């Protein structure tokens, strides 16, 4: 059973478009992380959200943590081909350090 459900699973858009991907759960988390994996590479941490309702911005990427700390969203403005990759969410690692990822959203941005 997946702790986190990500949607959509696949998204193909044109350069310049906006998009939002979602990470949902029935569980409450103390924190949630977003990673991006580019083809041929390992995942890289984008952001950690901790407080319910928190909004963090990373250039054209806006991350939001739900008020109840059960869900999160990632909004990309004016997507570029360099945004292409697999976007993964995971509860922040606890004392065990283990990351249990959602299914991921594969984003393809076409020039």
Partner 1 sequence: SAVISQKPSRDICQRGTSLTIQCQVDSQVTMMFWYRQQPGQSLTLIATANQGSEATYESGFVIDKFPISRPNLTFSTLTVSNMSPEDSSIYLCSVLNFENTEAFFGQGTRLTVV
Residues at the contact surface with partner 1, assessed by CB under 8 A? 35, 40-45, 48, 86, 88, 92-93, 95-104, 106
Shortest separation between residue 73's beta carbon and partner 1, angstroms: 18
Shortest separation between residue 78's beta carbon and partner 1, angstroms: 26
Shortest separation between residue 50's beta carbon and partner 1, angstroms: 10
CA distance 56 to 47: 8
Burial (CB count <10 Å: 0-12, 13-18, 19+), residue 3: middle
Residue 15 has which token pair?
């350069």
Q: Which is nearer to partner 1, 8 or 16 (CB)?
A: 8
Q: Which is nearer to partner 1, 24 or 77 (CB)?
A: 24
Q: Which is nearer to partner 1, 9 or 77 (CB)?
A: 9
Q: Which is nearer to partner 1, 23 or 109 (CB)?
A: 23
Burial (CB count <10 Å: 0-12, 13-18, 19+), residue 111: exposed
Exposure b/e, 28-50, CB count within 10 A at least 16 = b: ebebbbbbbbeeeeebeebbebe
Shortest separation between residue 90's beta carbon and partner 1, angstroms: 8
């Amino acid at each position: 059973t997946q702790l986190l459900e990500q949607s959509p699973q696949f998204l193909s858009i044109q350069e310049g478009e906006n998009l939002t991907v979602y990470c949902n759960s029935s569980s409450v988390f103390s924190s949630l992380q977003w990673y991006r994996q580019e083809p041929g590479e390992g995942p890289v941490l984008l952001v950690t959200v901790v407080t319910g309702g928190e909004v963090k911005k990373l250039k054209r990427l806006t991350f939001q943590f739900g008020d109840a700390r059960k869900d999160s969203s990632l909004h990309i403005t004016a997507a570029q081909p360099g945004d292409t990759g697999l976007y993964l969410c995971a509860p922040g690692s606890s004392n065990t350090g283990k990351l249990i990822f959602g299914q991921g959203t594969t984003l393809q941005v076409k020039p």
